[in-house]
Amino acid sequence: MTTKPKWRTSSYTKSDTCVEVSDNQPDLVLVRDSKDPDRGCLALRPAAWSSFLDFLRATEVRPGRVR
């Protein structure tokens, strides 16, 4: 049986212009655009998602620039 995605946004989100994440499945993390949820989503393995989050935490990201 497939678990229905439970979508959420970051607690840092101040508006609806963000991404939504569903990580309630043990082998899959889904990411989609909150402005256009019917357009589709990215499906990632949890290890890849974790690596991406580690990168963001360690990197200063500014519009048009990554440090």
Runs of H (alpha helix) within the chain: 46-58
pLDDT of 63: 62
Confirm whether 49 is domain-assigned.
yes
Confirm whether 6 is domain-assigned.
no
Q: Is 31 exposed, middle or buried (0-12, 13-18, 19+ CB in 10 A)?
A: middle
Could you give the number of structural domains in the chain? 1
Confirm whether 11 is domain-assigned.
no
Task: Name the pTM for this structure.
Answer: 0.77
What tens digit of pLDDT does each residue of 7-64 get? 998 776 666 668 899 999 999 999 999 889 899 999 999 999 999 989 888 887 666 6
Q: Is 23 exposed, middle or buried (0-12, 13-18, 19+ CB in 10 A)?
A: middle
Confirm whether 33 is domain-assigned.
yes
pLDDT of 66: 57
Does residue 30 contact residue 22 with C-beta atoms inside 8 Å?
yes
Residue 56: domain span: 20-60
Confirm whether 1 is domain-assigned.
no
The alpha carbons of the chain give a radius of gyration, in whole angstroms, of 13
Confirm whether 34 is domain-assigned.
yes
pLDDT of 1: 52
Q: pLDDT band at residue 5, thresholds of 50, 70 and 90? A: very high
